[in-house]
Structure 1
Amino acid sequence: MGFRVIKTAAASLLAILITDALNIPGATSAGLLAILGVDVTRKRSVRSISSRLFASLLGLVLACMLFYFLGFHYWVLAIYILLAFPAISKANFKEGIVTSSVVVFRVFQGKEIGVDILLTQVELLIIGLGSAMLVNLVYMPNSEGAMMEIRRKVDGLFSVIFHHFSLTLRDPEHIWDGKELIEANRQIERGIEEARRASENQMIHPDGSWNIYFYMRKEQMENIQSMMHQISQVYERLPHGVLTAEIFDQLSKDVIAEGYTGKSEGLLIELEDLFKEMELPTTREEFEVRSAILQLCHELEYYLNISKKYKAPTAKKPQKRADSAV
């Protein structure tokens, strides 16, 4: 937000200086138009400024017709609002309603309609909005470092979550408040927003790797919630749970490694084969717990399949930036 204020000040000052240098009346209006045109991303800026420009031209034409036939009265402004605002919204220029109002009110204040008046308003629009677009296009903050930091936090939280899964499977009496789940969700949503903003700042060949990473984590987060449900049903210690805990121990390491290691997947395949060789449960309690553990393994398999779908294996050359572990 602080950087946006700096950009807004720069765009406004630039618009005022250009207007004053060209001896065009209304330099402060150009500065106001520049303030309205500054946005958070390059693509959004282009869309917003285009919308503001066309909305202002549309509003200017309609206002001039009203002022010409009805005169410069305050009630005419009310009629303008009643007619122009719905028309501008219907034309999909809703963002430009305020900008168009600034231009129209300037014409009303002058109490005169003429080619030179209209030309001046168009010049102010071009200078004000053009200054905002120039500042937006020249520089946007690089969010690569911020996204990398968020990724490290998410991976670290996943690692802690899997460690607690392992502890619970070894000791069903293990107490865990689950705060890492809430924080991981928050960081993932933050990362999605940051990745979207970074993508909109890349006008040519946008890199979608960060979007892929954070949406992958969001999908896996839903899968982890399902794992939580199954683990909550493991109410007694069994060898099956201890063996499954070893996979989560490995996964807690894999999740913070670079690339898809495949180690956890290999352990899971071995465990599933081992389960098939074990004797059937002899009590209802053992049956319920083993059933929950088996379903937990299916959820874990789904989690790993998501990783395989989006992540490069470590045997290949690591991809840049967002390519992270399981």
Structure 2
Amino acid sequence: MGIRIIKTALAAIAAIYTAVYFGLEPPLGAGILAILGVEVTRMKGLKSAFVRFIASVLGLFFASLIFTLFGFHIWAVAVFILITFPVLSRFQLKDGIVTSSVIVFHLFNRGEVTTGIIGNEIMLLFAGLGWATIVNIIYMPKDEHRLNDYRSAIEHNFGVIFQEMAFTLRNPAHVWNGGEILEAYSAIEDGAHQSVRNRENRLWGQEEYWSTYFEMRRQQLESVQQMLVELAFVYQKFPQAVMIADLLDQLSSDVKSDVYKGNVEDRHDRLAQSFQAMELPKTRDEFEVRASLLMLLRELERYLAIAKRLKKRKVMSSELLP
């Protein structure tokens, strides 16, 4: 927010000096337009400047007709609002209503409609919105470090979640409050929002990595929550539970690495095959627990498939961690 205030101040000062240099009236109007035009991302800045300019030109057109027909009366401003604002909203230009109003009020204050006054107002638009656009394009704060912080937080929480699941499989009496799930969810949502800003700040060569990454983690967290549902039915310790716990231990470590070569997926496949070769359950309790373990293993397969489907390919086909 501090950077945006500085950018707004620079754009306003530059716009006012430009208006003074070219003899535009009132020069402070260019500063107001510049303040309205500064946005949080480059893409929003360009879209905002375009919308505000088109809306202001249309506003000048309608205001010129209305004031010429009805005169420069205060009630004529109400007529302008009743006619113009719905039109701007209808054509998706409602973000330019305030800018258009500033320009039209300048015209109303002059008390006449001439080509010179219209030209003056359009030049004010160029000065104010132009400097706002230039400042928006020249500098935007870097988001990479914040995105990496979100990624680190997510992967740390995922690692803890898998460790806690492994502890529970080895000791069903283990108690865990699940706080890391909420922390992971918060980091994913905040990171996804930040990735949108990061993408909008790139005018050329759009980067899809971060949006794909956070979408992958969002879907994986849903899979993890389903694993926890199955884990809740594991109330006794069986050898199969320990095998899955060992797999989760490796996953809790691999989730923090930059790349992996499919070791977790290979171990999962071998474990699933070994489950099929095991003897059938002998008691009802063993049947219920092993059924939950099998469902947990299948949900783990879905978790790994999400990464395989959405991950970003790296150099020499290296893969993002699961």
- Counterpart-to-counterpart distance in 1, 2:159 and 2:182: 14
Q: Please say if residues 216 and 311 of structure 2, whose CA atoms lie closer than 8 Å, have aligned partners that are also in contact.
A: no
- Counterpart-to-counterpart distance in 1, 2:305 and 2:317: 20
- Counterpart-to-counterpart distance in 1, 2:5 and 2:158: 36
- Counterpart-to-counterpart distance in 2, 1:94 and 1:208: 30
Shift of 1:38: 0.6
Alignment of 1:237-252 (within 5 A): 237-252=237-252
Q: Please say if residues 172 and 235 of structure 2, whose CA atoms lie closer than 8 Å, have aligned partners that are also in contact.
A: yes
Aligned to 2:47: 47
Alignment of 1:215-254 (within 5 A): 215-254=215-254
Aligned to 1:70: 70
- Work out the percentage of aligned pairs sharing the same amino acid: 41
Question: 1:27 aligned to 2:23?
Answer: no
Query: What TM-score do the two structures reach when normalised by structure 2?
Result: 0.97
- Counterpart-to-counterpart distance in 2, 1:23 and 1:69: 29
Question: 1:296 aligned to 2:287?
Answer: no
What is the letter of the counterpart of residue 325 of structure 1? L
Alignment of 1:1-326 (within 5 A): 1-311=1-311, 316=316, 324-326=320-322
| Superposed CA offset, 1:223-257 (max 9, x none) | 11111111111111111111110010000001001
Query: What TM-score do the two structures reach when normalised by structure 1?
Result: 0.95
Q: Please say if residues 143 and 198 of structure 1, whose CA atoms lie closer than 8 Å, have aligned partners that are also in contact.
A: yes
- Counterpart-to-counterpart distance in 1, 2:54 and 2:257: 51
Unaligned runs of 5+ in 2: none
Q: Please say if residues 268 and 301 of structure 1, whose CA atoms lie closer than 8 Å, have aligned partners that are also in contact.
A: yes
Unaligned runs of 5+ in 1: none
Q: Please say if residues 259 and 312 of structure 1, whose CA atoms lie closer than 8 Å, have aligned partners that are also in contact.
A: no
The count of residues paired between Structure 1 and Structure 2 equals: 322
Q: Please say if residues 259 and 311 of structure 1, whose CA atoms lie closer than 8 Å, have aligned partners that are also in contact.
A: no
Question: Which piece of structure 1 moves more, 243-252 or 38-47?
Answer: 38-47
- Counterpart-to-counterpart distance in 1, 2:111 and 2:316: 71
When residues 86 and 182 of structure 1 are mapped into structure 2, their CA distance, relative to the original with a 3 A threshold, is same
Shift of 1:145: 1.2
Shift of 1:43: 1.1
- Counterpart-to-counterpart distance in 1, 2:194 and 2:269: 37
When residues 316 and 133 of structure 1 are mapped into structure 2, their CA distance, relative to the original with a 3 A threshold, is same
- Counterpart-to-counterpart distance in 2, 1:311 and 1:263: 16
Shift of 1:310: 3.4
What is the letter of the counterpart of residue 68 of structure 1? T
When residues 317 and 145 of structure 1 are mapped into structure 2, their CA distance, relative to the original with a 3 A threshold, is farther
| Superposed CA offset, 1:3-56 (max 9, x none) | 111111111111011111222121111000001111111111111110000000
Q: Please say if residues 14 and 131 of structure 2, whose CA atoms lie closer than 8 Å, have aligned partners that are also in contact.
A: yes
Shift of 1:312: 6.2
Structure 1 residue matching 2:40: 3-state secondary structure: coil
Q: Please say if residues 154 and 184 of structure 2, whose CA atoms lie closer than 8 Å, have aligned partners that are also in contact.
A: yes
Q: Please say if residues 260 and 307 of structure 1, whose CA atoms lie closer than 8 Å, have aligned partners that are also in contact.
A: no
- Counterpart-to-counterpart distance in 2, 1:307 and 1:34: 44
